[in-house]
Copies of this chain bind each other. A is one copy, B any other.
Amino acid sequence: MAGKQLALPINRLESFSDGVIAIVITLMIFQIKIPAINENATASDVWNSLFTLLPSLVAYVLSFVMVGVLWVNHHQFFHQLKNIDRKLLWYNLHLLFWMCIIPIPTAFLGLHFQKPEATALYGFTMFMTAVAFAIMREYVHKSEHLLIDHLSNTLRKKLRRKLLMTVGLYFISIFTGYISIYIPISIFVLVIVMYFMPQNIVVEVAE
């Protein structure tokens, strides 16, 4: 009864998480600095200096979609819960922490996309985000009282397998940039495609 008052409602946790995610997704664009343009610059000067923003914009698009995927999965995850406890609160804050970090490697990737250090840093942050998600999911799968009842074992296994695959792919993305930066970048695109494929959506929701 006195414990009742501790019980943070799920929707409060979701809406705080939504707030943080909305800020991360929106603020990354403000890291892109408009280049200074001379008053008597020609049209081609202007377009040239605008084109220098292109890698930063592409990095922004990448992170926008990544965070979008995380947001969709975050909601789906919390819709599978019927209760939350204090530990879950901190596992969620841990996930939000790594999501808050994303703007740093995004800006770095936009400025130095041809350097393997940039993809390594980006891959590492995404790896830690996926790990934080996996820790949270493992905790919930072990704490039966938090999960809704009709989540079958088959579905759980599929969800876990997909998440572990994501963790593994991000891990590989950290180091392979030293062979060619196109490997980690292909991995990032592959993960996005993996979460977009209708096949997988069916797998996740249907039983």
Contact = CB atoms under 8 A, between A and B. Distances in A.
Interface of A: 1-3, 5-8, 12, 14-16, 18-27, 29-32, 34, 37, 43, 46-47, 50, 53, 61, 64, 68, 71-72, 75-76, 79-80, 86, 89-90, 93, 96-97, 100-101, 103-104, 107-108, 111-112, 115-117, 121, 148, 150, 152, 155, 196, 201, 204-207
Given A14-B12, A37-B111, A72-B89, A207 B2 contact: yes
A16 B71 contact: yes
> Is chain A's interface secondary structure helix, strand, loop, or mixed overall?
helix
B37 A112 contact: yes
Given A34-B107, A90-B68, A104-B34, A205 B3 contact: yes
Nearest to A53: B104
Contacts of A155: 2
A68 to B, nearest CB: 5
A16 to B, nearest CB: 5
Given A43-B117, A104-B32, A205 B5 contact: yes
B5 A80 contact: yes
A27 B25 contact: no
A19 B46 CA distance: 33
A196 B35 CA distance: 35
10 contacts: A1-B150, A2-B205, A7-B79, A26-B27, A37-B111, A43-B117, A46-B115, A50-B117, A64-B100, A90-B196
Given A29-B100, A29-B101, A108 B34 contact: yes
A79 B5 CA distance: 6
A89 B71 CA distance: 10
